[in-house]
Structure 1
Amino acid sequence: MSGELLLVGSIPLDTPEDVFRTFGEPLGKYLFAMPDGEVGPRRHWISRVHYQVLAAHPELEVVQRPAPDENGVERQQPRNAADAWWFKVRDGIDRVRFGDPGWRLGYARDAVNSYFVFRTMKEKGVLPSHLRFQVSIPMVNSVLPPRIFPNRKDIDKVRPGYEAATRAEIAKIVEKIPASELAIQWDCSTELQDAYGAIAGYPLEGAIERNLIEVRNLSPHVPREVALGYHFCFGTLGGWPRFAPDDLGQAVKLANAFVAASGRPVDWIHIPVLDRSDDLFYAPLRELQPQGARVYLGAVHNMPRFEKRLATARKYLPDFGLGAYCGFGREPTSELPNILNDHLRAAQIAAL
């Protein structure tokens, strides 16, 4: 039954052990890989990179930071896109570079630490033996979206160095965690928005191609023995979805292009779906070309209408796994029992 469910990544608990026991134990038999919940600062996704990495970089200036709370206390996490961190490259700098390769971005450090807990939980029988350890990493264009650079030309000065730092993180993760135990997921939100023409000032023409550069520069560096997947997202900052497309057409085109550009086999693709059950929205799924990748639809939400969404999607894609539309990092912890139950119910309904 493994591979029927996907956990996208973030889970608002305090430690990886909490995540593995709370979600991994009851859902493990349905999963192919298990994330550590992106606990701590990673819970809020790219914001952690903005204040821990970019804000401290000597070649960057902070133009805006999230406004303080109602008591005047600093906030690191933005409330919405307008409240986000903004940056500019300092005058005279043509290329921003990142030191301490392999550790600078923090993904390898957190992965190595969490993997020890993951391995221990497997040895104790809390997690099933077939599970891989899932490391979710934001794709470069999602970390460096146009909205955080008032001068968009600055992105071209930062992107190559950040890409190199990401490659170094991947190399370190692969060095420290056995390939047969590892799964790496690229999180792609800005890329999907761009594919739909949902980024102000960016033309729809050429949108997919300009997002393939990072795929070609990064995915071939993930060894074939390591499982590789893509999570596409409509965005949750300020509420889900940040944008709501008319159909899944551009998501399918982007997924097909990413798979073809990866330079290695892709093991899974996750595509979110809105709370809709009409044929227009799902029909593009018949054009999906996963080339052997397991497809997961992010349909585990708004459960009273789940079965209708499932039935319509199956008209155009008969075989797929299930997940939520995104991670749960921005959800209150009090909602986790309901989220867990929704996943268990979805797995049971889908098996009927």
Structure 2
Amino acid sequence: MTQADTAGDVMLVGSIPHKSIPQAMNMFGPPLAQHLQALPDGEVGWRRFWITRVHFQVLAIHPDLEVIQQPRRDNGIERIYPHDATDNWNFKVRDGVDKIVFGHPGWRLGFYQDAANSYHFFRDLKDKGLLPESVRFQVSIPSAVSAIPPRVMPHKGDLEKVRPGYIDAVRAEVLAMLDVIPAKELAIQWDCSSEMQDVYGGIAGTPAPGGIERNLPQINALSRDLPDDVMLGFHLCFGTLGGWPRFAPDSTDKAVELANAFIEGSGRRVDWMHIPLLDRTDEAYYAPLAALRPDKTRLYLGMIHSMNTYEQRLALARKYVPDFGVAAYCGFGRRDPDELQGILDDHVRAVELLQRSRRA
């Protein structure tokens, strides 16, 4: 097979917990290069802990927000990231503030600065012939609903005061990226975990009905003005805070509904959609995948885990989805760095088995 035949067979969700960007990109980029549409920079450092980085580096220093809880100490020493979902940073909008506005548009959130710095290493891999020119530089950004979930803003009405400002700030950061990264080399991925929890009825005090309607407007606002030359993808997630999965639904039905809604309601072309799968081998769990309406969107099923059942799960998924690529259920940021070689080996093996199943 040529690279054109196999590009899109595997996806890297985002975080790779090495100590440096070159380590992460060099470890996972070249071995998977011919199968990738896009390569992330590993989200090293503080980004390893996903939305928590937004909480302590962005929200905690905003003058119109008050910190009302932060992760408990370890043996009396500060801890920046939570132990579990009960140990989050919590914030309150200060009295008299109607909307949180983030200053310094283009770099206040930190996504632009990280992307601009990492693109140099990505470009170096291409210049050395270690990545095909067709591979994009992937920047994964949590959506507004996931970056600022209800558990982080427990006071009624505060979410609506903070999320619009976050959306404005994200849009400004993506525009800034386009000043240093060619649009034809950039891929933006929206990471969506709270949205999945919402549609499955997993957010306390929020009924599952209406979940899609609650979550779609932010996706349209984030996506609709992205230039056509920029690729757009989605990572839907069951969450890993406190262990994976944070919740384990009995069916893929709501994930399918959410994926279809995001593809159809983003206001522009969606290039890929990632849906995580649990380690389930009952056919009823997979049957709702038949209702996916991807059109030209590349589907990735997050099933590179529990490799002893991988081929069985692959066969079940292929009954309901004619063509798809594979990925892990989430990024690896909360995994031990010593596990990375095994994770990479699983990705290589998973692609081989996927391609073999097509030839069978």
1:1-352 → structure 2 map (5 Å cutoff) = 1-70=6-75, 72-352=76-356
What letter corresponds to residue 144 of structure 1 in structure 2?
I
The answer to whether the Cα contact below 8 Å between 1:183 and 1:228 also exists between their aligned partners in 2 is yes
State the alpha-carbon separation in 2 of the partners of residues 288 and 251 from structure 1: 10
Q: Deviations over 1:312-337 (max 9, x none)?
A: 01100021000000000000000001
In 2, the alpha carbon distance for the partners of 1:103 and 1:219 equals 19
User: 1:78 & 1:259 partners in 2: Cα distance?
Assistant: 32
DSSP 3-state at the match of 2:31? helix
> Aligned partners of 2:245 and 2:156: how far apart in 1?
24
Where 1:146 maps in the other structure, the secondary structure is coil
CA contact (8 A) 1:170 1:221 kept: no
TM-score between the two structures when normalised by the length of structure 1: 0.98
Report the Cα distance in structure 1 between the residues aligned to 2:231 and 2:68, rounded to whole angstroms: 39
The answer as to whether partners of 1:146 and 1:152 remain within 8 angstroms in 2 is no
Runs of 4+ in 1 over 6 A off after TM superposition: none
Corresponding residue of 2:3: none
Which amino acid letter does the alignment assign opposite residue 104 of structure 1?
A: R
Q: Distance in 1 between matches of 2:147 and 2:159?
A: 10
The runs of 5 or more residues in structure 2 that have no matched partner are: 1-5
For 1:41, give the aligned amino acid: W
Write the deviation string for residues 24-62 of structure 1: whole angstroms up to 9, x where unpaired.
Answer: 011111111000000111110000000000000000000
Does the residue aligned with 2:160 lie in a helix, a strand or coil?
A: helix
The structural deviation recorded for 1:130 is 2.1
Name the CA distance, whole Å, in 2 between partners of 1:174 and 1:253. Answer: 32
Shift of 1:100: 0.3
- CA distance in structure 1 between the aligned counterparts of 2:106 and 2:161, rounded to whole angstroms: 20
Counterparts of 2:117 and 2:176, CA distance in 1: 13
User: TM-score, normalization: structure 2?
Assistant: 0.96
Q: Deviations over 1:91-123 (max 9, x none)?
A: 111111100001000001100100011101210
Q: How many residues align?
A: 351
Displacement of 1:152 in angstroms is: 3.1
Measured after TM superposition, the shift of residue 128 of structure 1 is 2.6
Q: What are structure 1's unaligned runs of at least 5 residues?
A: none
Q: Deviations over 1:41-90 (max 9, x none)?
A: 111000000000000000000000001112x1111110111011000001
Given that 1:227 and 1:266 are in contact with CA atoms closer than 8 Å, whether structure 2 keeps it comes out as yes
2: CA distance, partners of 1:28 / 1:56:
39
Q: Distance in 2 between matches of 1:205 and 1:132?
A: 37
